[in-house]
């Protein structure tokens, strides 16, 4: 059973998940490439993943068999598990609980050679809609407090499989990063009576210099003080605290916003490793006046060194205004059809 432990110095929670471990002496340096040999996410290999939680299936296909467009399965090596009791308790002067939660994988397409930006806006809309459905479903488990949706692309971003997928980890406590953001936002709201990110959207649209993409309901921009070169955030222009309140027409525009932004980043940086994370409100909360959900996209082209770990400062060698101007100027066609199938030898993320 994984264990949640809290570090009293930083108040950060850590998951000790030794089932995922090799023996200590088997640890190797982090420069290993992605495994290529066999892909458990490809169509035809459905028996190599745990049983599916959801699948968008073609008529006549069988559960856990081929014939699907999108598939959600439990992670085979979960950081947290659904079965069991939380059993919160002290441990000497420290605090721990059992690692209860969920860890799911959203396999975005059956085709191994495609990346998220190769999918049509309709396919990406389905991915974003499944994100919503999974949050709504898991929120019903009253032991659980928060759902973090994220995507790792490329070995430098922590991906261990190449086949395009997203992940959802649901935790029994609100994560420190989100909790801190909510405290800051609440503090801002108490003083001004306005949502911080609503103010930022207004400021960015007025200034224009850091805008990457602008639609009817969403905007993509490089933050004023980004941690990483070409970091870009996407958020609803109107105030929305909870991702699952997304309407279907909004999901369609968000798919275009996400695909466009990622295509621009891939073009600018020659298909870099990247992560994106969706920050939304905790489970079981009503609409919040002070919190605003958003997607953070971070290209992983710079290494994090001792100064960043020690201080929380980041040294960014590209001004956000330069990065945004560069991304704005790149022309992409997000509504294009799926690319022609390539042979594995030409896979872009290999």
Q: Which of residues 2-41 bind a second copy (CB under 8 A)?
A: 5-18, 20-22, 24-25, 27-31
- β-bridge pairing 146-153 and 54-57: unpaired
| Distance between CA atoms of residues 53 and 44, nearest Å | 17
Instruction: Write phi, then psi, for 246 (nearest 5 degrees).
Output: -50, 135
Least distance from a second copy to the Cβ atom of residue 90, Å: 12
Binder among 97, 106, 145, 323 for a second copy (CB under 8 A): 323
Least distance from a second copy to the Cβ atom of residue 57, Å: 27
Binder among 136, 157, 211, 256 for a second copy (CB under 8 A): 157
| Distance between CA atoms of residues 210 and 331, nearest Å | 17
Helical (H) or strand (E) element with 322: helix 320-329
- Residue count, binding to a second copy (CB under 8 A): 102
Closest CB to a second copy among residues 29, 346: 29
Interface region with a second copy, contact rule CB under 8 A, candidates 127-135, 169-177, 245-253, 282-290: 169-177
Give the rounded distance of the alpha carbon of 177 from its chain centre.
Answer: 14
State the first-to-last Cα distance of the chain, in angstroms, to the nearest integer: 34
Q: According to the binding rule CB under 8 A, does residue 188 interact with a second copy?
A: yes
Q: Which residues are catalytic?
A: 165
Q: According to the binding rule CB under 8 A, does residue 230 interact with a second copy?
A: yes
Interface region with a second copy, contact rule CB under 8 A, candidates 55-63, 117-125, 146-154, 252-260: 146-154
Q: According to the binding rule CB under 8 A, does residue 159 interact with a second copy?
A: yes
Closest CB to a second copy among residues 55, 263: 263
Binder among 315, 336, 341, 342 for a second copy (CB under 8 A): 315
Interaction with a second copy in 101-120: which residues (CB under 8 A)?
Answer: none
Interface region with a second copy, contact rule CB under 8 A, candidates 114-122, 223-231, 241-249, 335-343: 223-231
| Distance between CA atoms of residues 172 and 80, nearest Å | 10
Binder among 162, 326, 328, 334 for a second copy (CB under 8 A): 326
Least distance from a second copy to the Cβ atom of residue 301, Å: 5
Q: What are residue 165's DSSP bridge partners?
A: 107
Structure tokens at 111: 């085709």
Instruction: Write phi, then psi, for 187 (nearest 5 degrees).
Output: -60, -45
Interaction with a second copy in 231-290: which residues (CB under 8 A)?
Answer: 268-270, 272-273, 275-279
Query: b vs e for 63-72, b when ≥16 Cβ sit within 10 Å of the residue's Cβ?
Result: eeeeebbbbb
Least distance from a second copy to the Cβ atom of residue 230, Å: 7
Q: According to the binding rule CB under 8 A, does residue 211 interact with a second copy?
A: no
In terms of Cβ atoms closer than 10 Å to its own Cβ (0-12, 13-18, 19+), residue 136 is middle
Binder among 72, 156, 246, 263 for a second copy (CB under 8 A): 156
| Distance between CA atoms of residues 81 and 20, nearest Å | 12
Interface region with a second copy, contact rule CB under 8 A, candidates 81-89, 130-138, 168-176, 247-255: 168-176
Least distance from a second copy to the Cβ atom of residue 164, Å: 14
Give the rounded distance of the alpha carbon of 38 from its chain centre.
Answer: 24
Cα 231-235-238 angle, rounded to 5 deg: 155
| Distance between CA atoms of residues 149 and 244, nearest Å | 12
Interaction with a second copy in 59-98: which residues (CB under 8 A)?
Answer: 79, 91-94
Give Rg (Cα) of the chain: 20
| Distance between CA atoms of residues 212 and 18, nearest Å | 42
Interface region with a second copy, contact rule CB under 8 A, candidates 45-53, 116-124, 243-251, 316-324: 316-324
């Amino acid at each position: 059973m994984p264990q949640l432990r809290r570090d009293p110095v930083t108040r950060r929670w850590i998951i000790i998940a030794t089932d995922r471990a090799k023996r200590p002496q088997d640890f190797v340096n982090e420069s290993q490439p992605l495994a290529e040999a066999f892909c458990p996410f490809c169509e035809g290999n459905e028996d190599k993943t745990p049983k599916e939680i959801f699948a968008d299936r073609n008529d006549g296909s069988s559960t856990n068999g081929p014939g699907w467009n999108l598939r959600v399965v439990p992670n085979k090596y979960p950081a947290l598990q659904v079965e069991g009791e939380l059993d919160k308790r002290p441990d000497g002067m420290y605090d721990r609980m059992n690692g209860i939660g969920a860890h799911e994988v959203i396999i975005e397409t059956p085709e191994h050679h495609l990346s998220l930006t190769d999918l049509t806006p309709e396919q990406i809309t389905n991915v974003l809609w499944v994100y919503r459905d999974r949050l709504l479903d898991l929120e019903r488990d009253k032991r659980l407090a928060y759902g973090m949706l994220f995507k790792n692309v490329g070995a430098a971003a922590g991906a261990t499989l190449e086949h395009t997928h997203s992940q959802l980890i649901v935790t029994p406590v609100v994560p420190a990063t989100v909790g801190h953001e909510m405290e800051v936002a609440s503090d801002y709201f108490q003083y001004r009576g306005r949502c911080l990110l609503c103010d930022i959207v207004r400021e960015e649209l007025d200034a224009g210099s850091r805008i990457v993409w602008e639609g009817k309901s969403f905007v993509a921009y490089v933050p004023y003080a980004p941690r990483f070169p070409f970091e870009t955030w996407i958020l609803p222009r109107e105030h929305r605290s909870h991702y699952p309140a997304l309407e279907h027409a909004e999901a369609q525009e968000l798919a275009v916003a996400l695909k466009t932004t990622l295509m621009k980043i891939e073009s600018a940086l020659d298909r870099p490793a990247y992560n994106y994370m969706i920050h939304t409100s905790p489970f079981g909360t009503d609409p919040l006046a002070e919190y605003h959900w958003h997607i953070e996209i971070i290209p992983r082209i710079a290494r994090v060194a001792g100064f960043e770990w020690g201080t929380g400062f980041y040294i960014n060698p590209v001004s956000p205004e330069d990065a945004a101007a560069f991304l704005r100027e790149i022309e992409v066609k997000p509504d294009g059809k799926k690319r022609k199938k390539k042979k594995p030898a030409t896979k872009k993320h290999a």
